[in-house]
Structure 1
Amino acid sequence: MKWIYIIAGIALYVKMLVMPNPMAELVDLSIVETIVQDTGVPNAVSGIIFRNRLYDTIFEVVVFTLAVMGVRFLLANEQPLTIIYQVNDQPSIVLARLGATIAALVSIELAIRGHLSPGGGFAAGVAGGTAIGLIAITSPSEWMQKIYQRWQAATWEKISVLIFIILAVITLIGLELPYGEMGTLLSGGIMPLLNILVAIKVALGSWAVILIFIRYRGLL
């Protein structure tokens, strides 16, 4: 059987070497300009993520949600650590919290203006998760857990996913908000809302994973 796989692999490489790749003939047409005109936002990447390949983006959000649920499930039966060592020296705490403040501001900027400039919901969520992680390594885990429960972060995470899916499905059906004026904050139709929802989802999901790993594994 392995000889069949070897022959098939050789045939595939021969095909790649002998047969040329088909190329579409584009005459005076810029793909980036076409996407920008079609989506109404200067950031063509956001246009692709939240319009041209919105199906993929929906499942990316769902996969991230499943990953968070998987972490909770796999570590649910383990015993929490009795002693969790935190970063205690004052210079490191000051630097970590300064970095957390900067990361949080960057997260807000990327979420709000991700359709106008480089950035977007996923990058904003990563920046927000980084800010939370820097606070978590310099603060008592019990305090972080109380804040997580007080603000019902797990519930808001689920709500953000649900709203994102609903808005994405409405967009795929063909119902869209007005694009507005190109380059302004309130432009791009539904894209700014999708950016913000993805940022909230990724940041809160990262918060949950960070708390779980610190509780059961300590500072990695």
Structure 2
Amino acid sequence: MKWVYVLAGIAVYIKFLILPNIAPEMVDGSIVGSIVQDSGVPNAVTGIIFRNRLYDTIFEVVVFTIAIMGAKFLLADEKPFARVYQFTDQPSIVLARLGATIAALVSIELAIRGHLSPGGGFAAGVAGGTAIGLVAITSSSEWMQSVYGQWRAAIVEKVSVLIFIGLALITLVGLELPHGSFGALLSGGVIPFLNILVALKVALGSWAAILLFIRYRGLL
């Protein structure tokens, strides 16, 4: 069967070389302008995610929550790994913690200003999860678990999901907060709060997944 794949690959490359590249028709900026005007935020992508396609975003958050719960359920019956692989040399530890600090600051920036500039809740959550992962590979797993429990991260994660769904449903029925001044930090109605909630959910969910894989796999 390998020769079939090789011939298919060659045919695809010939297609790229011979057939002309059809340029897509460019749409004028009226659609983007209308999205920005309706959402009240300069970042049209955020306006689409948290307004025009909010129904999809609700289920994206729910799917991520189910994924974390599923990982916990599947690994619950396994025996914890006896050895945890982490950085031990000082230069790597310093660089990892410096990277964690930068990622955490980027996460906060993307969460609170994602509706004004490129970024948003999902990107902020990924940056926050990256920061937590970098700390995890340079710190004691027992300390990470104790901090996770001390700050009630599991409860905060679930509460953030419920609040997000509640605010989203209120928005879907047509009730919106005032948009405020265009381009201001407090603008776009409920969109900035949805951004922060998604960032919180993704970061804390990543934290839970990291702890699970450290405990039951010994590595990230």
Bin of the TM-score, shorter chain as denominator length: 0.7 to 0.9
Partner residue in 1 for 2:118:
118
Q: Partners of 1:89 and 1:218 in 2: how far apart?
A: 18
Partner residue in 2 for 1:188:
188
Residues 104/29 of structure 1: CA separation in 2 closer, same or farther (3 Å cut): closer
Question: Per-residue deviation at 1:219?
Answer: 1.6
Amino acid at match of 2:44: A
| 2:51 is aligned with 1:51 | yes
Q: Partners of 1:133 and 1:79 in 2: how far apart?
A: 22
| SS in structure 1 of the partner of residue 186 of structure 2 | coil
Partner residue in 2 for 1:106:
106
Q: Give the TM-score normalised by structure 1.
A: 0.87
Amino acid at match of 2:49: I
Q: Partners of 2:133 and 2:86 in 1: how far apart?
A: 12
Residues 217/31 of structure 1: CA separation in 2 closer, same or farther (3 Å cut): same
Q: Partners of 1:125 and 1:115 in 2: how far apart?
A: 15
Partner residue in 2 for 1:11:
none
Q: Partners of 1:98 and 1:195 in 2: how far apart?
A: 25
Q: Partners of 2:58 and 2:92 in 1: how far apart?
A: 38
* Aligned pairs (5 A) from 1:62-141: 62-141=62-141
Unaligned runs of at least 5 residues, structure 2: 1-26
| 2:215 is aligned with 1:215 | yes
Unaligned runs of at least 5 residues, structure 1: 1-25
* Aligned pairs (5 A) from 1:195-206: 195-206=195-206
Residues 133/29 of structure 1: CA separation in 2 closer, same or farther (3 Å cut): closer
Aligned residues: 195
Question: Per-residue deviation at 1:124?
Answer: 0.1
Q: Give the TM-score normalised by structure 2.
A: 0.87
| 2:61 is aligned with 1:61 | yes
Question: Per-residue deviation at 1:29?
Answer: 5.9
Q: Partners of 1:75 and 1:130 in 2: how far apart?
A: 22
Question: Per-residue deviation at 1:212?
Answer: 0.2
Amino acid at match of 1:200: L
Q: Partners of 1:165 and 1:35 in 2: how far apart?
A: 22
Preserved contact between residue 42 and residue 115 of structure 2 (Cα < 8 Å): yes
Partner residue in 1 for 2:12:
none
Task: Give % identity.
Answer: 79
Question: Per-residue deviation at 1:200?
Answer: 0.2
Q: Partners of 1:68 and 1:29 in 2: how far apart?
A: 39
Question: Per-residue deviation at 1:190?
Answer: 0.2
* Aligned pairs (5 A) from 1:32-43: 32-43=32-43
Compute the RMSD of aligned alpha carbons.
1.3
Partner residue in 2 for 1:176:
176
Amino acid at match of 1:151: W
| SS in structure 2 of the partner of residue 31 of structure 1 | helix
Preserved contact between residue 82 and residue 218 of structure 2 (Cα < 8 Å): no
Q: Partners of 1:46 and 1:147 in 2: how far apart?
A: 32
Q: Partners of 1:193 and 1:38 in 2: how far apart?
A: 17
